[in-house]
Structure formats: structure tokens, C-alpha cells
Amino acid sequence: MKLLPVEERLGVKYSSLENLLRSSDYIVLMTPLSKETEHMIDYKEFDLMKKSAIFINASRGQTINEEALIDALQNNKILAAGLDVYNVEPVNKDNPLLKMPNVVTVPHIGSATLKTESAMAMVAARNLIAAVLGEVPPDLVPELKCTPNILS
């Protein structure tokens, strides 16, 4: 696979999901929910992870099989989990994940403070105005600034 110049400069290395799960200490799932990603992380994937792995899901609850996660945590297949999303939201108060000492949970509000949300709105507005005026948005991801015609 030929790397893009920005990927070469940053030292990007591609790997299969299987290899990533086997070798990673932290697995952070950040993917949209689609037919292809529903239950993307299931029993098989938890079985591939290190026993010392910490799994974090901040994407969508249905991207993982929650029963498989509970099994992995209860049977020490992985060390811990951090969750901002759940299969059912609001999360049921009887969900076993809420009672596990090796799970940190937040109710789908991981970044939702008034200060953060206000700042995010201002950043979005500044970037939108710049783009509409044909300028490079001030908060464009640095790696994309070197990409020709990124705004066209």
C-alpha cells in the first residue's frame, strides 16, 4: 500500500484489525454506526485482545456486542473498559457494566460541559465562516493543510 506524503511524514503504519487488537494496550473505538460496523467488536475480537487491554468505546453503543464486553470483563479476558455509549440509551440502571469495578462509565456526555460546548460552537462557526469566504479554516487538521485543494 502506497502511503500519502502526510502518512509517510507522520510514520503511519497500517495494520489489520486483528493485529491491532492483539498488540494494543488501549483500544479506542471511534467509528460511525453502519451495517459494516454493527457489532464490529464481538466475542472473537475481545478474545484477541491482551488480558491487560483497556477497551474504550466513544463511538456508538451498537458497534460492540455489549454481552461480549460483559463476558470479557467478567472472565478477565480484558482488564477494563471506559464507556460513553451503550446499546440502549439512556443506559438501564440494571446494566451490569454500571456495577463493575473495572468499568468507568459516563452517560454519553464525555465532553459535554458548558465551557466545552460553547467553545466547540465558536470553533465551528469560525471554521464555517472562513470556508464560506474561501479561506482555509483556522482549525483545519494540520495534516490536511498540506493537501492540495482540500477545500475544493
Residue 32 is part of a domain; what is its CATH number? 3.40.50.720
pLDDT tens figures, 8-23: 888 888 899 999 999 9
How many domains does the chain fold into? 2
| Residue of 102, 106, 47, 46 lying closest to 79 (CA atoms) | 102
Q: Could you tell me if 17 and 85 lie in one domain?
A: yes
Query: Does 43 or 127 have the greater pLDDT score?
Result: 43
Q: Give the integer Cα–Cα distance in Å for 75 and 107.
A: 25
Q: Could you tell me if 45 and 116 lie in one domain?
A: no
Q: Could you tell me if 81 and 101 lie in one domain?
A: yes
Return the pLDDT at 70: 98
Q: Could you tell me if 131 and 78 lie in one domain?
A: no
CB 85 within 8 A of CB 108: yes
To which residue does cell 471506559 refer? Answer: 82
Return the pLDDT at 146: 61
Q: Can you give the pTM of this predicted structure?
A: 0.71
Residues 6+ apart with CB under 8 A from 49: 21, 22, 24, 27, 55, 72, 77, 78
Return the pLDDT at 114: 83
| Residue of 13, 16, 84, 88 lying closest to 45 (CA atoms) | 16
Catalytic residue selected from 8, 38, 67, 89: 89
Q: What is the mean pLDDT of residues 34-43?
A: 96
Q: Is 60 a catalytic residue?
A: yes
Q: Could you tell me if 34 and 90 lie in one domain?
A: yes
Return the pLDDT at 149: 54
Return the pLDDT at 143: 66
Query: Does 74 or 145 have the greater pLDDT score?
Result: 74
Catalytic residue selected from 7, 39, 108, 143: 108
pLDDT higher than 90, residue 73: yes
Q: Could you tell me if 151 and 103 lie in one domain?
A: no
Q: Give the integer Cα–Cα distance in Å for 5 and 33.
A: 29
